[in-house]
Amino acid sequence: MADIAVMGHGVVGSGVMEVLLSHRESIKKRAKEEVRVKHILDLREFPELPYADRFTKDFSVILNDPEVKIVVEVMGGLEPAFSYTKACLEHGKSVVTSNKELVAQKGAELLTLAQKNNLNFLFEASVGGGIPIIRPISQCLAANEMTEIAGILNGTTNFILTKMIREHMAFADALKLAQQLGYAERDPSADVEGVDACRKICILASLAYGTHVYPDGVHTEGITAITKEDVGYADAWGGVIKLIGEVKKLENGRIHIQVAPMFISRESQLANVDDVFNGILVRGDATGDVVFYGKGAGKLPTASAVVADVIDCVRHLKSDRKILFWEDAKPDYVQPWEDTPQDLFLRVGGEGDADSLFDKAQQVFPSAVRLIRKDELPGEAGFTVEQLSQRQLEERLPALEERGLRLENRITIADF
Ligand code: HSE
Residue pLDDT, tens place only, 213-266: 999 999 999 999 999 999 999 999 999 999 999 999 999 999 999 999 999 999
Query: 99, 96, 107, 108: which is closest to 68 by C-alpha?
Result: 96
> Are residue 258 and residue 380 in the same domain, yes or no?
no
pLDDT on residue 370? 98
Strands (E), 20-125: 35-41, 55-56, 68-73, 94-97, 121-122
**Per this entry, what is the length of the chain?**
416
- DSSP helix/strand/coil, 280: strand
In a domain, residue 178? The reply is: yes
What lies within 8 Å, CB to CB, of 170 at 6+ separation is: 164, 227, 228
pLDDT tens digit sequence for 144-188: 999 999 999 999 999 999 999 999 999 999 999 999 999 999 999
Q: Cα–Cα distance between 266 and 238 in angstroms, integer?
A: 6
Whole-number Å distance, alpha carbon 197 to ligand 1 midpoint, is: 8
Kindly indicate the confidence band of residue 92, based on its pLDDT and cuts at 50, 70 and 90: very high
Nearest-Å Rg of the Cα atoms of the chain is 24
Q: How far is Cα 75 from Cα 100, in angstroms, rounded to an integer? A: 11
Confidence of residue 50 (pLDDT cuts 50, 70, 90): very high
pLDDT at 321 over 80: no
The residues with which 185 forms a beta bridge, in sequence order, are none
Which helix (H) or strand (E) is 347 found in, with range?
Answer: strand 342-349
Instruction: Given the residues 200, 248, 249, 295, select the one marked as catalytic.
Output: 200
Q: Which residue has the higher pLDDT, 320 or 279?
A: 279
- In DSSP terms, which residues pair with 263 in a beta bridge? 241, 413
Residue spans of beta strands (DSSP E) within 234-296:
239-249, 255-265, 277-284, 288-295
Does a structural domain hold residue 330?
no
How close is the Cα of 397 to the center of ligand 1, in Å? 36
Count the alpha carbons within 13 Å of 280 in the hemisphere toward its beta carbon: 28
The answer on 238 and 138 residing in a single domain is: yes
Q: Is 326 within a domain?
A: no
Average pLDDT in the 361-385 region? 97
Over residues 70-81, mean pLDDT: 98
The residue nearest atom 1 of ligand 1, judged by CA position, is 156
Residues 273 and 347 in one domain: no
Q: What b-and-e string marks burial along 56-93, b requiring 16 or more CB atoms within 10 Å of the CB? A: beebeebbebeebbbbbbbbbeeeebbebbebbbebeb
d(CA 176, CA 163): 11
Same domain, 279 and 305: no
Residue in 74, 102, 154 to alter for ligand 1 test, most ligand atoms within 8 A of Cβ:
154
One domain for residues 270 and 154? yes
Pocket of ligand 1 (CB under 6 A): 154-156, 191, 196, 296-297
% of the chain surpassing 90 pLDDT? 97
| Distance from the alpha carbon of residue 155 to the mean position of ligand 1, in angstroms | 5
Whether 93 and 216 share a structural domain = no
Rounded mean pLDDT of 67-95? 98
Q: Which atom of ligand 1 is nearest the CA belonging to 154?
A: 6
Q: Are residues 145 and 277 in the same domain?
A: yes
Domain of residue 287 covers: 134-295
First to last CA, the chain: 48
Q: What is the pLDDT of residue 310?
A: 98
User: What local confidence, expressed as pLDDT, does residue 317 receive?
Assistant: 82
Q: Do residues 96 and 148 share a domain?
A: no
pLDDT for 182: 93
What tens digit of pLDDT does each residue of 37-47 get?
999 999 999 99
Residue 63 lies in a domain: yes
Ligand 1 mean position to 153 CA, how many Å? 8
Mark whether 21 and 40 lie in a shared domain: yes
* Angle between helix 299-315 and helix 24-31 axes, rounded to 10 deg: 30
Peptide bond just before 80 cis, omega within 30 deg: yes
Cα torsion through 14, 19, 22, 26, rounded to 10: -160
Let me know whether 16 and 121 are in one domain. yes
Q: What is the mean pLDDT of residues 385-410?
A: 98
Query: What residue owns the CA closest to ligand 1's atom 7?
Result: 297
Domain CATH code at residue 304: 3.40.50.720
Nearest ligand 1 atom, CA 188: 1
Ligand 1 atom closest to the CA of 276, numbered from 1: 5
Residue 316's pLDDT band, with cuts at 50, 70 and 90, is confident
- The HSE-up count of residue 81 (CA atoms within 13 Å, CB side) is 23
Distance between Cα 134 and ligand 1 center (Å): 17
In a domain, 335, yes or no: no
> Which pLDDT belongs to residue 15?
98
Report residue 319's pLDDT band, with 50, 70 and 90 as the boundaries: confident
Give strand pairing partners of 70. Answer: 4, 94
pLDDT for residue 320: 65
CA distance linking residue 336 with residue 342, whole number of Å: 13
Mean pLDDT of 109-114: 96
pTM as predicted: 0.97
Asked whether 30 and 2 are in contact (CB, 8 A), the reply is no
CATH number of the domain bearing residue 178: 3.30.360.10
How far apart (Å, rounded) are the C-alpha atoms in residues 382 and 397?
A: 15
Nearest CA to ligand 1 atom 2: 154
Percent of the chain, pLDDT > 70? 100
Does residue 211 lie in a domain region?
yes
Taking the C-alpha atoms of residue 306 and residue 53, their distance in angstroms, rounded to an integer, is 23
Runs of H (alpha helix) within 152-272: 155-166, 171-180, 189-192, 195-209, 228-237
Rounded to 10 deg, the angle between the 299-315 and 11-22 helix axes is 60
**CA trace torsion 97, 300, 203, 74 (10° rounding):** -30
Active site residue 200: yes
Average pLDDT over residues 81-102: 98
Mean pLDDT of 10-33: 97
Give the CATH number of the domain where residue 371 resides: 3.30.70.560
Question: Which of 295, 330, 349 is the last residue in one of the domains?
Answer: 295
Establish if 320 belongs to a structural domain: no
Q: What is the pLDDT of residues 340-361, one digit of tens each?
A: 999 999 999 999 999 999 999 9
The Å distance, Cα 4 to ligand 1 centre, comes to 26
Mean of all residue pLDDT scores within the chain: 96
Question: Of all atoms in ligand 1, which is nearest to the CA of residue 129?
Answer: 7
Number of folded domains in the chain? 3
The verdict on residue 333 lying in a domain is no
pLDDT of residue 51: 97
| Ligand 1 atom closest to 159 (CA) | 5
* φ and ψ of 155, to 5 deg: -70, -35
Both 191 and 176 in a single domain?
yes
The residue to mutate among 100, 162, 189, 191, having the most atoms of ligand 1 within 8 angstroms of its beta carbon, is 191
Assess whether 9 and 103 both reside in one domain. Answer: yes
Protein residue with least CA distance to atom 4, ligand 1: 297
